[in-house]
């Protein structure tokens, strides 16, 4: 009986499925893989085996990133870095992060099996802490590689009180930094985590950039009171005010351009009870857009409405900005190469912005960056229902291979 040959894309998807199970998850109930946990180390060990099988030398750096290197024609030449993250959120899907790593491994395997070497090395990075699901900081490991890490950010502990310094040598951590001349470009393949490609009937898209992000913590203070004895017109209800503010944020974002989004992801009612009018409430506000000016105008309008609502309801209002990430545009020349590789592979070039943050936005401080998005069913991500068709993964692999070839021809010219 003749066995059908498994495509590189299908193998990448199958390997993602393997990494979603024990011993590669911290939880027996679905996938949770946090930075430096036993599951993290197990996943790295498995990825290292696959990297070596694809023809790469393998090492770990001081930030516990895993790196595979496929050498250039001239040993020691600068590298094209292909990467994504191996950590996950809690209760994750199988493909957010690992698929980009595994497609990078498959791209190198195709070069190695054909005996093809490029004018640049190809390195595959498995970054360790993109999600920030263990420590109260995110993208520590890519920041270390890009050379933008503030050492003070390493002074963190997880929810069990385990400090990062208990697990790694913090003094050595910044030595993971790469010199700008050592890396010519960064390419990241990632599931879209949204519905645009599926709505367009397309498997792939070239990312134009990563949206600018603002995040706030909002606090409201009113007067707690008995639910049965305080007339509606006399209430200073912190929950009712919060509810009106949530809807105001939604209204502002809905009226804006398509890439503008506003999200309230966490709501809290300290000391809340079923028969008590809430005297305090807290919530988060996340505002994103492809351009910082659009984001900032929307955030200003949302906060203006919050102040109006608080004044009308006689509520105290506190606003604390906790996060401000600028937009991170992808390199124009690399986007053109991705578009050309798509056209060569028989796919209609299509461009879209990324509303989610990725390691690519950090690596932009080190080198030009490019991102390739893959369609995911229903736009679902950060959820066990994440799904990628093997045919779409193969399409991405074809485009990545074409991108490497076109970049090589450009370097040789």
Cα 36 from Cα 42, distance rounded (Å): 10
Is residue 197 within 8 A of residue 375, CB to CB? The reply is yes
Q: Do the annotations mark residue 85 as ligand-binding?
A: yes
Q: Do the annotations mark residue 65 as ligand-binding?
A: no
Total residue length of the chain = 413
Cα 104 from Cα 100, distance rounded (Å): 6
Could you give the 3-state DSSP secondary structure of residue 157? Answer: strand
Cα 209 from Cα 331, distance rounded (Å): 8
Task: Please give the DSSP secondary-structure letter assigned to residue 179.
Answer: P
Q: Do the annotations mark residue 291 as ligand-binding?
A: no
Q: Do the annotations mark residue 131 as ligand-binding?
A: yes
Is residue 211 within 8 A of residue 193, CB to CB? The reply is no
Residue spans of alpha helices (H) in 96-187: 98-113, 140-146, 164-167
Q: Is 228 exposed, middle or buried (0-12, 13-18, 19+ CB in 10 A)?
A: exposed
Is residue 24 within 8 A of residue 124, CB to CB? The reply is no
Is residue 176 within 8 A of residue 350, CB to CB? The reply is no
Q: Do the annotations mark residue 288 as ligand-binding?
A: yes
Is residue 354 within 8 A of residue 211, CB to CB? The reply is yes
Residue spans of alpha helices (H) in 216-275: 238-254
Q: Do the annotations mark residue 358 as ligand-binding?
A: no
Nearest CA to 335 out of 210, 208, 212 is that of 208
What angle (nearest 5°) sits at the alpha carbon of residue 385, between those of residues 19 and 132? 60
Could you give the 3-state DSSP secondary structure of residue 145? Answer: helix
Cα 100 from Cα 393, distance rounded (Å): 10
Is the bond preceding 23 in cis, omega lying within 30 degrees of 0?
yes
Nearest CA to 225 out of 212, 213, 214, 240 is that of 240
Give the rounded distance of the alpha carbon of 396 from its chain centre. Answer: 18
> Which residue numbers belong to the known binding site for Zn(2+)?
85, 96, 131, 190, 382
> Which residue numbers belong to the known binding site?
85, 96, 131, 190, 215, 275, 288, 382
> Which residue numbers belong to the known binding site for allantoate?
215, 275, 288
């Amino acid at each position: 009986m003749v066995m059908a040959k498994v495509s590189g894309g299908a193998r990448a998807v199958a390997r993602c499925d393997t990494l979603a199970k024990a011993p590669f998850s911290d939880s027996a109930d679905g996938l949770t893989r946090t930075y430096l946990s036993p599951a993290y180390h197990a996943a790295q060990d498995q990825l290292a085996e696959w990297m070596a099988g694809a023809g790469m030398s393998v090492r770990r750096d001081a930030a516990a990133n895993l790196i595979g290197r496929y050498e250039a024609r001239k040993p020691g030449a600068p590298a094209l870095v292909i990467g994504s993250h191996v950590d996950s959120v809690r209760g994750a899907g199988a493909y957010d992060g690992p698929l980009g790593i595994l497609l990078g491994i498959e791209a190198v395997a195709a070069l190695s099996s054909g005996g093809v070497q490029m004018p640049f090395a190809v390195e595959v990075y498995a970054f360790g802490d993109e999600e920030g699901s263990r420590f109260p900081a995110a993208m520590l490991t890519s920041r270390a590689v890009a050379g933008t890490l503030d050492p003070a950010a390493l002074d963190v502990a997880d929810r069990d009180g385990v400090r990062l310094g208990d697990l790694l040598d913090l003094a050595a951590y910044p030595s993971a930094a790469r010199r700008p001349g050592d890396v010519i470009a960064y390419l990241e393949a990632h599931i879209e985590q949204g519905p645009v490609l599926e709505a367009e009937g397309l498997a792939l898209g070239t990312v134009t950039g990563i949206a600018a992000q603002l995040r706030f913590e909002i606090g409201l203070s009113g007067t707690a009171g008995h639910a049965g004895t305080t007339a509606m017109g006399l209430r200073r209800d912190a929950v009712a005010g919060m509810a009106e503010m949530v809807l105001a944020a939604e209204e502002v974002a809905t009226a804006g351009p398509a890439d503008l989004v506003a999200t309230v992801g966490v709501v809290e009612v300290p000391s809340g009870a079923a028969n008590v009018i809430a005297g305090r409430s807290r919530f988060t506000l996340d505002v994103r857009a492809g351009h910082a000016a659009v984001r900032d105008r929307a955030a200003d309008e949302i906060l203006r409405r919050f102040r109006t609502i608080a004044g009308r309801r006689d509520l105290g209002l506190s606003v604390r900005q906790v996060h401000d990430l600028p937009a991170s545009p992808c390199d124009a020349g690399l986007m053109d190469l991705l578009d050309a590789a798509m056209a060569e592979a028989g796919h209609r070039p299509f461009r879209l912005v990324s509303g989610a943050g990725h390691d690519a936005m950090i690596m932009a401080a080190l080198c030009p960056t490019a991102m390739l998005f893959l369609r995911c069913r229903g736009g679902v991500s950060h959820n066990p229902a994440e799904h990628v068709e093997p045919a779409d993964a193969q399409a991405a692999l074809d485009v990545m291979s074409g991108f490497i070839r076109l970049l090589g021809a450009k370097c040789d010219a």
